[in-house]
Amino acid sequence: MNTMTTETIQRPILSIRGLSTQFSTPTGLLKAVQDVSLDVLPGECVGIVGESGSGKSVSFASVMGLIKPPGQIAAGEVIFDGTDLRKLTPEAMRRIRGKHIAMTMQDALTALNPAMTIEQQLLEVILAHDEDIAALSYWQQKRQARARAVEVLALVGIPSAESRLKDYPHQFSGGMRQRIMIAIALACKPRLLIADEPTTALDVTIQAQVLELIASLRRKLGMSMVLITHDLGVVAEQCDRVVVMYAGQVVESGLTAQVIGAPKHPYTQGLLQATPRVEDLSAPVRPIPGTVPNLINFPAQCHFYSRCTQRTEACLSAIALTRHADGHEVRCIRIEES
């Protein structure tokens, strides 16, 4: 019997190693992302979970090359399909961004340009990244790009797609704007989609529709996906693996069944205890006391120390992320005691 796991026989489409991103502020250096490492395998969905301020969005803005001064990527590698994106020129990175890796932002209303029609925004992406269409004559370009725009709008479930191309973002509902943003991201059929809080500000019914749409498109197009969210319920339904971040660090990662079914880090346990349980509405919801710490000039210690009910004096030292035999990774010294 072949005992090799999927992880050992598949090369990651995205491999992040030792990524650190920081911002200079008048009061000191804010280390927003610290030594983050993770992989995304072909065709899988990886959930990135944590409270606001945990470094989720900054990590993947770093992957996309979107960090601008006073921010900077201080260290690390971002390997996409064998190429270190950090070594690319801005022009070479522009050719990757949008065509091979696409990202949807948190708020569709602010991410879409209110002064441009949906057609203009879709055609801008298609003409910038589709080399086959760009090689055509001007009128052929417009015709082919417009046909692609109609195709992707229909793909994400926009009714009467062709007739709505001339509409502006404010003429669509929140759920429809989210679908349009996904359509723009998928216009050039990327191999990796980074979805940053794709259900922010949507009501529960529309959230479910958008998540089902993303899952369906991922299966249909064979994409890999990173789903950034604060909702463990969404992760449990959508993701193959989970990475839990807290205060700029990965504190736990593993298969979804491992992390959700048997969480080992006190922070992950706290997130689950703070999540209402549909199967038992009488179960108490226990919020995690306190807030994510200010990371400006933060000392070398467990970042969760001030909020942890299991802390000891040993936690005042820096804690390494430990990988266990089953592939489950945890950043906590108490795990060794169990």
Per-residue pLDDT, 131: 81
- Rounding to the nearest 10 degrees, give the CA dihedral for residues 228, 229, 232, 234: -80
Residues of the chain above pLDDT 70, percent: 95
Q: Which residue has the higher pLDDT, 141 or 7?
A: 141
Q: Is 135 helix (H, G, I), strand (E, B) or coil?
A: coil
Task: Give, in order, the Cα–Cα distances in Å from 43 to each of 11, 58, 76, 129, 325.
Answer: 11, 23, 24, 22, 24
Q: What is the pLDDT of residue 217?
A: 87
pLDDT in tens, 212-228: 888 888 888 899 999 99
pLDDT digits (tens, 9 = 90+) for 191-206: 999 999 988 777 888 8
State which amino acid sits at residue 184. Answer: I
Per-residue pLDDT at 262? 93
Using an 8 Å Cβ cutoff, are 118 and 124 in contact? no
CATH number of 101-189: 3.40.50.300
In this prediction, residue 295 carries a pLDDT of 93
What pLDDT score does 275 carry? 84
What is the pLDDT confidence band of residue 15, given thresholds at 50, 70 and 90? very high
pLDDT band at 138 (very low <50, low <70, confident <90, very high): confident
Q: Are 125 and 144 in contact (CB under 8 A)?
A: no
Instruction: Tell me what pLDDT residue 7 has.
Output: 43
- What kind of fold does domain 6-100+190-337 have according to CATH? Rossmann fold (3.40.50)
pLDDT tens string 269-327: 999 998 877 667 677 888 999 999 999 999 999 999 999 999 999 999 999 999 987 88
pLDDT band at 9 (very low <50, low <70, confident <90, very high): low
Q: What share of the chain has pLDDT > 90, as a percent?
A: 69
Report helix, strand or coil for 147: helix
- What integer is the mean pLDDT of 12-17? 97
pLDDT above 80 (res 30): yes
pLDDT at site 4:
42
pLDDT at 337: 55
User: Domain segments of the chain: what residues?
Assistant: 6-100+190-337, 101-189
The average confidence (pLDDT) of the chain is 90
- Look up residue 260 and give its DSSP letter: H
- On the question of pLDDT at 336 being above 90, the answer is no
**Angle made by CA atoms 152, 242, 216, in degrees to the nearest 5:** 25
Give tens-digit pLDDT for 53-91: 999 999 999 999 999 999 999 999 999 999 999 999 999
Picking from 272, 157, 276, 150, the residue whose alpha carbon sits closest to that of residue 206 is: 157
Distance CA 113, CA 167 (A): 12
Q: What is the pLDDT of residues 118-129, one digit of tens each?
A: 999 999 999 988
